[in-house]
């Protein structure tokens, strides 16, 4: 559909010249000789863009801008300032005009401002759409995703959250394992109980036991008083055993006993205490391999893994990248006092084309860092870390969701992508594109045909 532009100027020649130029460039254009007339026209049928002179009889540019806003007339307003009206033009921008062009101007200046404004509108709409998606169907608790496998995981969480079954969450670092554990807790019948998390890999072996199970006074040198462990603290709620793969073998036995019997014995105590705790554990290690290689007890593995959830790495769900980027922009933009910042389409392409070895956490850090480093309202490619610019070929092309291990398919995708880029760069000139690709013209034609890219 053609974009609708209204030109407002009392000077008939200029108005008509603009009108004709816009029509020639694919816009639907109308003209009005003053602000009053323009208001009536815009009420009748809204415009995408309004290009408005400042000095006019009846109702001038600033007056028009104010009345248009009062009347809730949409559309991006661009002012035309002549010598002596720059101050007013700036005032108009303060009051909501998008930009101004100075008279006399060249046609391409006006077209450029329009293009920029169109791009901004497009981004705004896209952003609204993404935000709505995040809010509506593409999230479960704080977990955002539109990926099919992730959405199956949402279903699994729904099914398991109300029962006491042990859950084991697997996935590479940064894929959202802790988020899943919290979603299970907060959506289930234990949500009013405590959620207690412990990182089994971060606590020294000799402390972990008393941390988990507690101790009595005098059990060891530093035990000056009785103390409850995390199991007792989590009574009535959920205990999240993070990095369970790092748990030392001596404790694996003790943990197994607690899980089997539902009671804990504080270090140095005679008696045991009954606890009602739902255990969710997680690890980024390949736990089955740890079992096979004798580092993790098989019986404990089966106990913990009654219900297993495996999170796919981000490179296997790159369709989530735009959604997650919008989510983190909102989250950190708000925290940093910069709401409404967006990513340019070019930057988004880079984000969606990267392999994300650090998964969602890396993406989140990247967005936060870019927000801090760049203070524009639209983050372009230059705001992103070098790593992304260097390896953009790797991601989207080499790691799409389906059959990502096929070298043949990856090669094909790579070729398509490079051909597309070469043609973009040469405005579709195949001879020049073939030269960039360092293949013969005939080879290029053959590939275009083979890939149905003609």
Instruction: Identify any residues that bridge with 101 across adjacent strands, giving them in sequence order.
Output: 80
- SS3 state at 383: helix
Q: Counting contacts by CB under 5 A, is residue 133 touching Mg ion?
A: no
d(CA 119, CA 125) in angstroms, rounded, equals: 10
Q: Counting contacts by CB under 5 A, is residue 178 touching Mg ion?
A: yes
Q: How far is the CB of 244 from ligand ATP (least distance, A)?
A: 11
- What is the distance in angstroms between the CA of the first residue and the CA of the last residue of the chain? 25
Q: How far is the CB of 385 from ligand ATP (least distance, A)?
A: 17
Peptide bond into 288 cis (omega under 30): no
Could you say which residues in the range 356-385 bind ligand ATP, by CB under 6 A? 360-361, 364
Please calculate the CA angle 356-358-359 and round it to the nearest 5 degrees. 60
Q: Identify the residue among 76, 145, 166, 238 touching ligand ATP (CB under 6 A).
A: 145
295 by Cβ neighbours in 10 Å (0-12 / 13-18 / 19+) ranks as middle
Could you say which residues in the range 279-298 bind ligand ATP, by CB under 6 A? 284
Q: Which one of ligand ATP, Mg ion, none interacts with residue 175, CB within 5 to 8 A by kind? A: ligand ATP
Q: Which one of ligand ATP, Mg ion, none interacts with residue 447, CB within 5 to 8 A by kind? A: none
Take residue 242 and report the two structure tokens written for it. Answer: 């993070």
Q: How far is the CB of 21 from ligand ATP (least distance, A)?
A: 47
Using the minimum distance from each CB to Mg ion, give the nearer residue, 27 or 356: 356
The β-bridge relationship of strands 263-264 and 273-274 is: antiparallel
- Where helices occur in 235-358 by DSSP H, the ranges are 249-261, 287-292, 298-304, 321-335, 345-352
Q: How far is the CB of 429 from ligand ATP (least distance, A)?
A: 43
Q: Which one of ligand ATP, Mg ion, none interacts with residue 392, CB within 5 to 8 A by kind? A: none
Stretches 146-154, 175-183, 246-254, 323-331: which one binds Mg ion (CB under 5 A)?
175-183
168 by Cβ neighbours in 10 Å (0-12 / 13-18 / 19+) ranks as buried
Using the minimum distance from each CB to Mg ion, give the nearer residue, 60 or 242: 242
Take residue 357 and report the two structure tokens written for it. Answer: 């070895």
Using the minimum distance from each CB to ligand ATP, give the nearer residue, 150 or 396: 150
**Residues at the contact surface with ligand ATP, assessed by CB under 6 A:** 142-145, 171, 173-179, 284, 324, 327, 360-361, 364
């Amino acid at each position: 559909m053609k974009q609708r532009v209204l030109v407002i100027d009392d000077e008939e020649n200029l108005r008509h010249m603009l009108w004709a130029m816009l029509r020639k460039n694919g816009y639907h254009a109308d003209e009005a000789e003053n602000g009053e007339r323009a208001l009536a026209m815009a009420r009748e049928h809204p415009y995408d863009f309004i290009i408005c002179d400042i000095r006019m009889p009846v109702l001038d540019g600033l007056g028009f801008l104010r009345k248009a806003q009062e009347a809730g007339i949409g559309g991006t307003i661009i002012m035309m300032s002549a010598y002596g009206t720059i101050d007013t033009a700036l005032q108009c921008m303060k009051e909501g005009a998008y930009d101004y062009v100075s008279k006399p101007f060249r046609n391409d200046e006006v077209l450029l401002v329009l293009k920029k404004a169109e791009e901004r509108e497009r981004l705004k709409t896209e952003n609204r759409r993404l935000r709505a998606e995040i809010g509506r169907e593409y999230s479960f608790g704080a977990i955002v995703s539109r990926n099919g496998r992730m959405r199956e995981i949402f279903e699994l969480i729904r099914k398991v959250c109300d029962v006491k079954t042990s859950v084991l969450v697997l996935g590479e670092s940064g894929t959202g394992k802790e988020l899943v554990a919290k979603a299970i807790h907060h959506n289930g019948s234990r949500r009013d109980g405590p959620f207690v998390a412990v990182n089994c890999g971060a606590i020294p072996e000799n402390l972990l036991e008393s941390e988990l199970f507690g101790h009595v006074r005098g059990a060891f040198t530093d035990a000056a008083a009785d103390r409850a462990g995390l199991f007792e603290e989590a009574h009535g709620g959920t205990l999240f055993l993070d990095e369970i793969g790092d748990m030392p073998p001596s404790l694996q036995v003790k943990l197994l006993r607690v899980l089997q019997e539902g009671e804990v014995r504080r270090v140095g105590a005679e008696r045991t205490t009954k606890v009602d705790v739902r255990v969710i554990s997680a690890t980024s290690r390949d736990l089955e391999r740890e079992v096979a290689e004798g580092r993790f007890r098989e019986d404990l593995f089966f106990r913990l893994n009654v219900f297993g959830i495996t999170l796919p790495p981000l490179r296997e769900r790159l369709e989530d990248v735009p959604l997650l980027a919008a989510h983190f922009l909102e989250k950190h933009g708000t925290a940093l006092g910069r709401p409404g910042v967006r990513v340019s389409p070019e930057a988004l392409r880079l984000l969606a084309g990267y392999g994300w070895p650090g998964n969602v956490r890396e993406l989140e850090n990247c967005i936060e860092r870019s927000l801090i480093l760049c203070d524009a309202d639209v983050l372009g490619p230059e705001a992103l870390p070098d790593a992304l610019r260097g390896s953009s070929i790797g991601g989207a092309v080499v790691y799409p969701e389906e059959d990502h291990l096929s070298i043949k398919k990856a090669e094909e995708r790579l070729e398509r992508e490079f051909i597309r880029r070469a043609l973009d760069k040469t405005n579709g000139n195949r001879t020049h594109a073939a030269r960039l690709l360092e293949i013969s013209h005939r080879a290029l034609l053959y590939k275009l045909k083979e890939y149905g890219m003609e």
